[in-house]
Amino acid sequence: MSVASGASSLPRAASAGAEDACPACGEPRTSAEARFCEVCRYDFVTRKGGPPPAESEPAPAPVPRTAAPPEAWELVVTVDPALDTDPDPKSPCPQDEAPRIFSIDEPEMLVGRRDDRRDIRPDIPLGDPGTSRRHAKFLKNVDGSVSLQDLSSLNGTRLNGADVPPGSRQVLNEGDTVTLGRWTRIRLGRRP
């Protein structure tokens, strides 16, 4: 069977004659009453090509996949006089001390008292006499979360009011509060 030049050859129904096929594309006519070719929309009545296909809205351009940016965390360190339940007149709790903010930019950040003689320089230095020199550390996890680890400190560490077992790691959530020493409160938040 031959088909008009430029048209693809499609199988025809065995009983269909040449007049039963679309002259534009060769598609068999489904019935004698069918006005339009189902493939190319040729109009059998007017013997003209069918209307152009309906235009659909273009699909939105794909958004390039990029890795999610790592979480940006910060620690807000404050002096809370309400935590100093056993005041020492020799080392009074500081009053009206402004909060200090530390970005968690390193895989590990040591918290404690600075001791130059022993070459201990914490990333988050505290002037709280109730904290150990190597009291605890904050760790940035591979998944972007942050953990807290107590380093077997003398006076311990509390997370949201509960004791943190020495040596254990606790995954933190935004807004979690860590208390340590006599008056130190540290809150985890997202960096703006």
Task: Please tell me the least confidently modeled range out of 62-71, 91-100, 124-133.
Answer: 62-71
Please name the helix (run of DSSP H) or strand (run of DSSP E) that holds residue 110, with its range, or none. strand 108-112
Secondary structure letter of residue 182 according to DSSP: T
- Going from N- to C-terminal start, the domains of the chain cover 10-52, 73-190
Contacts of 139 (CB under 8 A, 6+ apart): 107, 108, 109, 146, 147, 148, 149, 169
Average pLDDT over residues 156-164: 95
Provide the sign of the torsion angle of the four alpha carbons 74, 70, 160, 128, taken in this order.
negative
The pLDDT value given to residue 102? 97
For the segment(s) 73-190, the CATH number from 1.10.275.10, 3.40.640.10, 3.30.160.150, 2.60.200.20 is: 2.60.200.20
Give this prediction's pTM: 0.64
> What tens digit of pLDDT does each residue of 41-52 get?
788 888 887 655
Question: Would you say 113 and 128 are in contact if contact means Cβ atoms under 8 Å apart?
Answer: yes
Average pLDDT over residues 116-142: 94
